[in-house]
Amino acid sequence: MRLAVFASGEGTNFQAILDAVGGDRLPAEVACCISNTKDAGALKRADQHDVPTEVIPPASFESSEAFGHALLDGLAAHDVTFVALAGYMQKIPPNVVDAYRGSMTNIHPALLPAFGGQGMYGMHVHRAVIDYGVHWTGATVHLVDEEYDHGPIVLQEPVPVYADDTPEALADRVREVEHRLYPEALRLFAAGRVHQLCAGRRACHPRPRLGAPAPVGPT
């Protein structure tokens, strides 16, 4: 797996991926980090690990299609075979989704399909979770399609919501799960353990052999 990580912010999930690769827990090579902004902290993390970077701002292009072609050119330049969105604050153009369909994932800080969709990112999600009064939230890794937070779910893990939670405290607990869950999901892809899409929206994992550990993370 030659992995591109797309990130717009500080890149803590990117760091978790780098740590998993460096610790031999993820059999992949991080081929590049792509951001829509030159100020992303993720780019500094990439530089510290000698990972090539690309800054491709969508405002520089006349159309989504042209932006997509620029992204595809950047991915092709680094021979990328899989894309991981990790706090990337731009919708992926359809031509990029088509080119990497089934080989592009995103992580979302809630249990999709709840608290997903346009505008639901970062602290907005955690505020909405607390305001709604649910007792459980979590993290979801899903395949990317043409809609926000919509593709088939690969892995999820719940996180409790406490009565005295602030959005910041809840975000910290969810982020801890994200940092464990995302490298594990990518490991499953790298090992060929997510091998098909079932009927409907389910992302399938092979049934474990008798006595073998299940291929998915915590339930």
Using 50, 70 and 90 to split pLDDT, how confident is the model at 210? very low
Model confidence pLDDT, tens digit, residues 144-169: 999 999 999 999 999 999 999 999 99
Phi, psi of 165 (to 5 degrees): -65, 145
Using 50, 70 and 90 to split pLDDT, how confident is the model at 206? low
Using alpha carbons, list the distances in angstroms from residue 214 to 98, 123, 189, 207. 30, 32, 15, 8
Whose tokens are 């997509």? That residue is 68
* Whether the predicted pLDDT of 115 surpasses 50: yes
Model confidence pLDDT, tens digit, residues 44-54: 999 999 999 99
Q: How far apart are CA 94 and CA 170, in angstroms?
A: 33
- Active-site residue among 49, 69, 108, 124? 108
Nearest alpha carbon to residue 140 among 34, 35, 217 = 217
> Is 126 marked active-site?
no
pLDDT averaged over the chain?
Answer: 91
* Whether the predicted pLDDT of 216 surpasses 80: no
Residue 89 C-alpha from the chain's centroid: 11
> For residue 193, what pLDDT is reported?
87
Using alpha carbons, list the distances in angstroms from residue 108 to 63, 69, 89, 102, 112. 26, 25, 12, 17, 8
The share of the chain scoring above pLDDT 70, in percent, equals: 89
Please, what's the largest Cα pairwise distance for the chain? 55
> For residue 199, what pLDDT is reported?
47
> What's the rounded mean pLDDT across residues 119-146?
96
Model confidence pLDDT, tens digit, residues 167-203: 999 999 999 999 999 999 999 999 988 865 554 566 6
> For residue 194, what pLDDT is reported?
85
Q: How far apart are CA 133 and CA 125, in angstroms?
A: 13
